[in-house]
């Protein structure tokens, strides 16, 4: 969850900024960074899980209320048109067959409370199909959640790649690399880069090719496109794999208002431990 927030904040100033030669050595936190919908909806799911107190039969309803509550409290966080007008502001919100990457950018908290792969898939579906009931929307969220869950358990990158290739076989393609994406990605005017299928595999490769937490975010942002969301997705897996320094956590939390910070701290109480790879 913290990784998603950091990726969102760092990527926020690059969202849809087209630059052919964006390097990896950009300034990480700047004054023009902000939290966006990715952090806000991630925290809404964290709050919904927290309110369940272990009884996830109410998770769908709690997620709807928490997403509407926080989304309406921060209406300028950068939501997609359909999500904002037809769901967030609706008195009777219904799923709208979306396969946008909004499902995958907000899912990370479920991977920190799930106690088995089976439960992970159930919880991921419950926080997803309230909006993104298209198979690609459900798949994108589950793939990111699975990556976080496996990293949390101390699995190796090769094990994670193997498992996530079931969702996206391109992850095994040796030509699918950050290097090959840079300069060739994020310029599709049909909007393909804001779909799950057009951005989740890119976020996963940003993590798989990284050397540390910060490098995963830099990989995610340097390819262009929907940078805050790709940063959020890559960061959420990288957090579980590498951990995040207290210093970076403090820097990121400075961007959040008090009410969102309280949700972050409350969720940390029920957040499962990251297991050391040496255990």
35 contacts 260 by C-beta, under 8 angstroms: yes
38 scored as a contact of Mg ion (CB under 5 A):
yes
Here the tokens at position 21 are 């030669």
Q: Which is nearer to Mg ion, 26 or 84 (CB)?
A: 84
Which region, judged by CB under 5 A, interacts with Mg ion, from 131-139, 182-190, 225-233, 246-254?
225-233
| Distance in angstroms (rounded) separating the CA atoms of residues 192 and 196 | 9
* Phi/psi at 10 (5° precision): -65, -40
84 scored as a contact of Mg ion (CB under 5 A):
no
In the complex, the smallest distance separating the C-beta of residue 77 from Mg ion, rounded to whole angstroms, is 7
Each residue of 30-43: b (16+ CB within 10 Å) or e?
eeebbbbbbbbbbb
Binding pattern for the stretch 41-80 against Mg ion, x by CB under 5 A and - elsewhere? -------------------------------------x--
Total residues belonging to the chain = 279
267 contacts 16 by C-beta, under 8 angstroms: no
CB-based contacts of 174, cutoff 8 Å, min separation 6: none
214 scored as a contact of Mg ion (CB under 5 A):
no
- The residue of the chain with the least Cβ separation from Mg ion equals 36
Which region, judged by CB under 5 A, interacts with Mg ion, from 35-43, 94-102, 137-145, 240-248?
35-43
Binding test (CB under 5 A) with Mg ion, winner from 3, 33, 36, 152 = 36
In the complex, the smallest distance separating the C-beta of residue 220 from Mg ion, rounded to whole angstroms, is 13
- Based on the number of CB atoms within 10 Å of its own CB, is 82 exposed (0-12), middle (13-18) or buried (19 or more)? middle
| Distance in angstroms (rounded) separating the CA atoms of residues 125 and 103 | 10
Question: How many residues sit close enough to Mg ion to count as binding (CB under 5 A)?
Answer: 5
37 scored as a contact of Mg ion (CB under 5 A):
yes
Q: Which is nearer to Mg ion, 149 or 198 (CB)?
A: 198
In the complex, the smallest distance separating the C-beta of residue 59 from Mg ion, rounded to whole angstroms, is 23
* Longest Cα separation, the chain: 49
List residues near Mg ion by CB under 5 A: 36-38, 78, 228
């Amino acid at each position: 969850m913290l990784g998603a927030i950091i990726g969102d904040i760092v990527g926020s100033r690059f969202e849809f900024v087209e630059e052919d030669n964006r390097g990896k050595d950009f300034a990480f936190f700047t004054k023009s960074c902000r939290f966006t919908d990715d952090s806000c909806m991630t925290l809404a799911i964290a709050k919904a899980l927290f309110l369940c107190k272990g009884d996830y039969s109410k998770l769908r309803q709690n997620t709807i209320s928490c997403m509407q509550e926080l989304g309406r409290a921060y209406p300028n966080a950068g939501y997609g048109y359909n999500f904002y007008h037809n769901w967030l502001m609706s008195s009777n919100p219904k799923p709208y067959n979306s396969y946008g990457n909004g499902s995958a950018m907000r899912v990370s908290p479920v991977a920190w409370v799930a106690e088995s792969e089976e439960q992970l898939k159930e919880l991921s579906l419950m926080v997803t199909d309230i909006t993104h009931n298209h198979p690609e929307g459900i798949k994108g969220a589950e793939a990111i959640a699975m990556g976080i869950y496996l990293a949390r358990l101390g699995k190796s990158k090769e094990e994670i790649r193997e498992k996530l290739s079931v969702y996206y076989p391109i992850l095994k393609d040796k030509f699918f690399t950050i290097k090959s994406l840079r300069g060739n990605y994020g310029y599709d005017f049909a909007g393909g880069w804001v779909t799950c299928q057009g951005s989740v595999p890119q976020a996963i490769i940003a993590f798989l090719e990284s050397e540390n937490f910060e490098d995963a975010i830099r990989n995610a942002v340097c390819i262009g496109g929907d940078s805050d969301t790709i940063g959020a997705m890559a960061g959420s897996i990288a957090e579980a794999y590498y951990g995040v320094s207290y210093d970076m956590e403090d820097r990121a939390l400075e961007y959040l208002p008090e009410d969102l910070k309280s949700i972050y701290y409350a969720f940390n109480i029920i957040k499962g431990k990251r297991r050391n790879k040496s255990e």
